[in-house]
A and B are shown apart, each in its own frame.
Chain A
Amino acid sequence: MLGQNEQNIKKRMEGRVAFNKILMVLFGMATAVGLVFLVLLFYRVLTQGIGYLSLDYIMNFPAPYPEKAGIYAGLIGSVFLMIIVAIFSVIIGVATAIYLEEYAAKNKFTDFIRVNIQNLAGVPSIVFGLLGLTFFVYMFNFGYTLIAGGLTMALLILPVIVVAAQEAVRSVPAEIKEASYGMGASKWQTIARVILPAAIPGILTGAIIALSRAIGETAPLIIVGAATAIYTLPDSLLAKYTVMPIQIYNWTGRPQEEWQYVAGAGIIVLLAVLLLMNSIAVLIRNKYQRRL
């Protein structure tokens, strides 16, 4: 049947092959759009900011003069904030994922909760900021403090962590769970000794990606009152604080051109911290995967 009309088949085949090539070029161009802008971003930030980047810049508090201004308060504030966010969001997120995947009855209600957690991950961050303002700042009366900001951010990334942890827990092979139950292990023993060790790479990767999102967030923190210029480091959970994105945002809003370069230097520091966190995620993942 194929031999019947060799000529025709060849012709159509050529059409398909050509179409495939066109698509390849289009997809390649789509990828290039992203890459080009990323390169442009890096170029702009590096050329503008690198001149102001120095050890002094990293170790200085904000100052009224561009050449004396530094990101120290923002850097340390961001690190402290991330520690709080990580503790609350990872513990609550993983516990939620374990409950939903291993303990909760498989019914419509559980499915409903599951879908809505995924929806929550898409809620604009500003909404979480308002939530944080209502609950943590006013109701719990924390004021504009580190803990209020940390808890707000923890809420913001909680859905992302829950979803990532759920996927990690779900991907643990049923065979090894059965092996554990088959020896008389209780559910918790199986979770602690079999499921979590196998799920940790996935959980940590998800958690660090979520934290990377949180470290760059500005909107919710503006609402829950991160300061824009402080000259001390937060010394308690109830201290004032600032974070890098807010500091950068504040500098970019100033009229003098020099401040743009100061902001550029801040973006470099922020990107460096982000890169560091992502590398840690990759390292952890590789370390655990090799053990499997």
Chain B
Amino acid sequence: MNKVMEEKTNKNVNQGTKKPEVKKEGIKKENANSIIEVNDLNLWYGSDQALYEVSMDVPEKQVTAIIGPSGCGKSTFLKTLNRMVEMVPIVKTSGSIKYRDQEIFSSKYKEEYLRTKVGMVFQKPNPFPKSVYDNVAYGPRIHGIKKKEILDQIVEKSLKGAAIWDELKDRLHENAYGLSGGQQQRVCIARALAVEPDVILMDEPTSALDPISTAKVEELVQELKEKYSIIIVTHNMQQAARISDKTAFFLNGELIEFADTDDLFQNPHDKRTEDYITGRFG
């Protein structure tokens, strides 16, 4: 299924111009296949435009970080990738997003299917008010798995995948609300894994966590990229530098720069990227 990427150009927007004049800039793709291709994505909340002509290719089985100041559209962009953004009724989009070469905005494409493939972990840990087991088994159950042995296996595998099985294997039937914030967030990651997604979107998954829990989640992200493609929105540039392979910098709804993380942080091409990562604004 994977399409080998040719050296594709990444659209980049010039400084200062209102109507974006597209500056073509070759970005090294090396051998990465892209799993999601975004082309000329525009998004409006009512009459306010939140994303402008965003184009980027998300590499498979890598960690892609999205950074930018508050309100730059990075979370909106992330939520567009699994069409969760459409839960806000006034949202309108144009452009194209292809997941494994299939257009997700196509009317034939079911958002329910997309979301089983493109899972999501949210900013605030949001377990259901149910037991740990029922939380993790939720996904498989809604997709019709009823047999207890199979559910048991999935729950164990998912909790192991989220590196929290050892901590919780004796507490599977306790309410997830009784766990610490860091444990809750890893249960939420396990819950996302239980659906067996292909891509995992993470929307500032550590912003509500203490440093130790944050370190655990970051470590986990490193392990998960062996099997999953991860896109993570973060406020924390050090976090982006630590855990990601590629980084995209958003500003005012535009994708300013998208490059290998090391390149972007050490050798930013755009003045605005440089200003942001050196802390001059944002």
Q: B188 an interface residue at 8 Å Cβ cutoff?
A: yes
Q: Is the CB of B115 within 8 A of A182?
A: yes
Contacts of B192 in A (CB 8 A): 182-183
Does residue A180 face the partner (Cβ distance < 8 Å to B)? yes
Q: Which of A157-180 contact B (CB under 8 A)?
A: 173, 175-176, 178-180
B122 with A178: CB separation less than 8 A: yes
Q: How far is the CA of A186 from the CA of B113 in the complex (A)?
A: 10
Cα A197 to Cα B175 in complex, Å, equals 15
Contacts of B116 in A (CB 8 A): 183-184
Q: Tell whether, in the assembled complex, residue A179 and residue B129 are in contact, meaning their CB atoms are under 8 Å apart.
A: no
Number of interface residues of A (CB under 8 A): 21
CB distance from B177 to the nearest CB of A (A): 7
Complex contact B128–A179 (CB within 8 A): yes
Residues of A near B112 (CB, < 8 A) are: 184-186
**B11 interface residue (CB < 8 Å to A):** no
> A181 to B128, Cβ gap below 8 A?
no
B residues near A173, Cβ cutoff 8 Å: 126
Q: Is the CB of B191 within 8 A of A179?
A: yes
> Which secondary structure dominates where chain A touches chain B?
helix
Asked if A106 is at the interface (CB within 8 A of a chain B CB), the reply is yes
- Count, chain B residues at interface, CB 8 A: 28
**Among A175, A184, A186, A189, contact of B124 (Cβ-Cβ < 8 Å):** A175
Complexed CA–CA distance, A17 and B127 (Å): 47
Would you call B147 an interface residue if the criterion is a C-beta within 8 Å of the partner chain's C-beta atoms? no
| B1 in contact (CB, < 8 A) | no
Residue in chain A with minimal CB distance to B123? A175
Contact B139 A184 (CB under 8 A): yes
> How far in angstroms is the closest Cβ of chain A from B230?
15
Distance (whole angstroms) from the CB of A192 to the closest CB of chain B: 10
Closest chain B CB from A175 CB (angstroms): 4
Closest A residue, CB atoms, query B113: A184
Are B129's CB and A182's CB within 8 A? Answer: no
Q: Which residues of A contact B115 (CB under 8 A)?
A: 181-184
Residue of B nearest to A179 (CB): B126
CB closest residue in chain B, given A173:
B126
Contact of A10 with B by CB under 8 A: no
Which A residues are CB-close (under 8 A) to B119?
Answer: 182-183
Are B128 and A184 in contact, with the CB atoms below 8 A?
Answer: no
Residue of B89, B138, B143 near A180 (CB, 8 A) is: B138
State whether B188 touches A183 (Cβ < 8 A): no
CB pair B89 A183 closer than 8 Å? no
| Candidates B87, B127, B142; contact of A183 at CB < 8 Å | B142
Task: Give 16 new A-B contacts, CB below 8 A, not counting A179-B128, A183-B195.
Answer: A175-B122, A176-B127, A178-B122, A179-B127, A179-B188, A180-B138, A182-B84, A182-B120, A183-B138, A183-B139, A183-B192, A184-B114, A184-B142, A184-B195, A193-B138, A292-B177
A-B contact pairs, 7 of them (CB 8 A): A176-B126, A176-B128, A179-B188, A182-B120, A184-B143, A197-B129, A292-B177
Question: Which A residues lie at the B interface, using CB under 8 A?
Answer: 105-106, 173, 175-176, 178-186, 189, 193-194, 197-198, 291-292
Q: Which 6 residue pairs of A and B lie closest in terms of their CB atoms, listed nearest first?
A: A184-B116, A175-B126, A184-B115, A182-B120, A183-B139, A184-B112
